Structure 1
């Protein structure tokens, strides 16, 4: 008689208990009829010794699963355990595992491997979650600005698509945003985009938080940053103060950083535009139809409703816009004049041979010390 596997044997016995013919059992299971007959004979002689089956039998008792094996408990201790106090002190000094291993070998007679120290240090080093303070701003107090990347746009005169620069200005209180894409940025373009944002919001904030990009900040400094002269003149014209964020501190302007990511992922993802104007129209439609109507997660208010309340707190706009200029340093000639584009302009009372600052506007020139 062939010896069947436990599952095959259980299947045969179950079918026999159901009075299934041996020929049918052989057809269902694929087991030879002689083998089925042998097991039938054994089952008739001693039914109590036959294996029980869980499938379909009315007399089957519920099976109790075996208990889970006990968890493995490591009985071996690390060679670094005796140096725990020293290692914890070094970790508080922000030293890495390599430096700690070297000191253990040199000063404490450590004979283990570096990997043991690395594993021990990894177990001791608990990284505390970084804490961020939630700040609240009064209406009309702060506006955050930054650049990002727009969606691919057809370059005029070619069949090539390129991503323009995406300018975004966000009022910190209401989260209302102004978005524009431009092909190129410059000192004047950067300042003009701020002007457009002020006109779009219908007023000016108290100060603007910006990144330390060259269009805005020539020399970063925590207390006295050197601003681009065109940008500084534009802010002075509108009565706004610049507050550049610290270098490598994007969290200071996290609102506009998040707004750029939200714009790229929601409004522009997967889209292409045939012109800059088409992309700007799409961004304006998306802002007024969707972004401004959303309920802000932390404030639990509609962005547009908060903006309507904030609008009255914005500073009034001047009657005239900013008059842009280019500037350079000129030397006062012996006739007390400076030369600008083959023309001479009086620079008195500046001394002959001295350096003066010349600002060239569209219709006039300013000469400054």
Structure 2
């Protein structure tokens, strides 16, 4: 149960009993939350942000333990069945159970017996709506269509939104039922109608409903945000009760399958979508409807179009919410890309809001902890350094050029050692260079420069050598250094014998010996 949804409906003018019916809550519960919202001044003015609203709600209504899933009567199952076959009333059954040690309530026994016995089929009453009040939505399998990008046949589905009063409808075919697709289809349908109905009756699709539970439907955050943007209310259809939205089941999906798709050869999905829009305004829109005895397009044009809510001035950003886990590398995975979040949250479940241009990461309490530009390709990493542990940051973003520049700040000897290490033709010694430069923090620039000079003098410019020099204090001694060789005495390196002396015997010449 989302209190924001209840407040949204109260602000829209729905009665408490209507809200309780739609959300399958006790009307007293809705009344309690409505009184709280009124006291908190939440029914007028601008609503607080989700995290602030959640904090205030939790403070006012602390969580209580969940009810047990197994009935307390289940251990007496065979005895209860026997008594019911004998025609014993529920009150008497409870009394017999109490004699056997049962301590539960009459309501528990009544619920248990009700589940055991089939119900008499209920009569139904047709519910008619006012213009602009309601639309009904569903998906239906549409067979295989050609993917224009690959040329291959793929399974496709038909999205149908039918305005309940006029029966005018919008149809579009898609290759998946992802939440992003679901939201895009709603946006396209509202554009087609030129407005938004007050409420949508939806089937319990995974994209629209988190859990198909009539007693406590939990609307996905993505769909709720879409509903708030356009200003419509979500009315979930009870599971396994398609008669609750018959205008779509019989006049929408079934009609599309039977009329538009019936006998139609496979085409590309883009061509099918172009054709079905024409069909909606001609064949489907101009037929005389069996119930209203009028043409849907005429009823829509003359009456219902004007009754729809106006489209928002700002286009809806197709935002998808997803629950993710922050991995040990301080990144979450969203839509095949990686986004960093504070290392203090590693291992926790977070909420990601993925818009078309921006990614926002929240805690479970809707506290914003990270914002990133959306990755442009799969596998891309978006990282803020401040999200990573400080002890692991040192050297993580250092490049060869940066290391060489830092070494030159210390002195020429340190710069020469760094150049030698980075110039190794076989091994990548960036790690050694990072460790070398980190010695500045421990020993200072002056001592590091002296140690590097000493290592160069003894022709051993390795990291381990320089560290030992610093740890033993040899960089502070100058008396054991060999005197520098005069430049005039230095001879360029050369072979003592010529190449002919070395390999001359191979060609018939003289050898070394």
Q: Same fold (TM over 0.5)?
A: yes
- Native 8 Å contact 1:174 1:303 kept in 2: yes
- Native 8 Å contact 1:325 1:362 kept in 2: no
The residue that corresponds to 2:322 in the other structure is 327
3-state secondary structure, aligned to 1:204: coil
Correspondent of 1:358 among 352, 356, 381:
352
The residue that corresponds to 1:278 in the other structure is 271
CA distance in 1, matches of 2:304, 2:346: 53
- Native 8 Å contact 1:169 1:197 kept in 2: yes
The residue that corresponds to 1:197 in the other structure is 189
The residue that corresponds to 2:200 in the other structure is 208
Q: What's the CA shift for 1:223?
A: 4.6
The residue that corresponds to 2:289 in the other structure is 296
Q: Closer, same or farther in 2 for the Cα pair 1:159/1:134, shift >3 Å?
A: same
After superposition, what is the alpha-carbon deviation per residue over 1:251-309, rounded to whole angstroms, capped at 9, x for unaligned?
00111011211111111111113211111122111111111112222222221121120
- Native 8 Å contact 1:330 1:358 kept in 2: no
User: Structure 2 stretches of 5 or more lacking a match?
Assistant: 1-83, 89-119, 366-513
The residue that corresponds to 1:305 in the other structure is 298
Q: Closer, same or farther in 2 for the Cα pair 1:338/1:171, shift >3 Å?
A: same
After superposition, what is the alpha-carbon deviation per residue over 1:314-367, rounded to whole angstroms, capped at 9, x for unaligned?
11111222222453445599xxx97786665679xx989875433233333434
Q: Closer, same or farther in 2 for the Cα pair 1:195/1:223, shift >3 Å?
A: farther
Q: Closer, same or farther in 2 for the Cα pair 1:344/1:161, shift >3 Å?
A: closer
The residue that corresponds to 2:310 in the other structure is 316
After superposition, what is the alpha-carbon deviation per residue over 1:91-141, rounded to whole angstroms, capped at 9, x for unaligned?
x99xxxxxxxxxxxxxxxxxxxxxxxxxxxxxxxxxx99743121101111
Correspondent of 1:175 among 167, 172, 183:
167
- RMSD across aligned C-alpha pairs, in angstroms? 3.3
- Native 8 Å contact 1:187 1:228 kept in 2: no
The residue that corresponds to 1:268 in the other structure is 261
Please say which structure displays the higher CA radius of gyration: 1
- Native 8 Å contact 1:332 1:355 kept in 2: no
- Native 8 Å contact 1:202 1:317 kept in 2: yes
Q: What's the CA shift for 1:179?
A: 0.3
3-state secondary structure, aligned to 1:224: coil
- Structure 1 runs (4+) deviating above 6 angstroms are 337-342, 350-354
Q: What's the CA shift for 1:197?
A: 0.8
Q: Closer, same or farther in 2 for the Cα pair 1:366/1:163, shift >3 Å?
A: closer
Q: Closer, same or farther in 2 for the Cα pair 1:297/1:362, shift >3 Å?
A: closer
TM-score normalised by structure 2 residue count: 0.42
- Native 8 Å contact 2:137 2:200 kept in 1: yes
- Native 8 Å contact 2:131 2:307 kept in 1: yes
- Native 8 Å contact 1:188 1:231 kept in 2: no
- Native 8 Å contact 1:208 1:243 kept in 2: yes
Q: Closer, same or farther in 2 for the Cα pair 1:157/1:281, shift >3 Å?
A: closer
User: Structure 1 stretches of 5 or more lacking a match?
Assistant: 1-88, 94-127
Q: Closer, same or farther in 2 for the Cα pair 1:331/1:177, shift >3 Å?
A: same
CA distance in 1, matches of 2:197, 2:338: 42
Structure of higher RCO (CA pairs closer than 8 Å, 6+ residues apart):
1
TM-score normalised by structure 1 residue count: 0.58
Matches within 5 A, 1:339-354: 344=340
Name which of structure 1's ranges 243-252 and 314-323 shifts more when overlaid on structure 2.
314-323
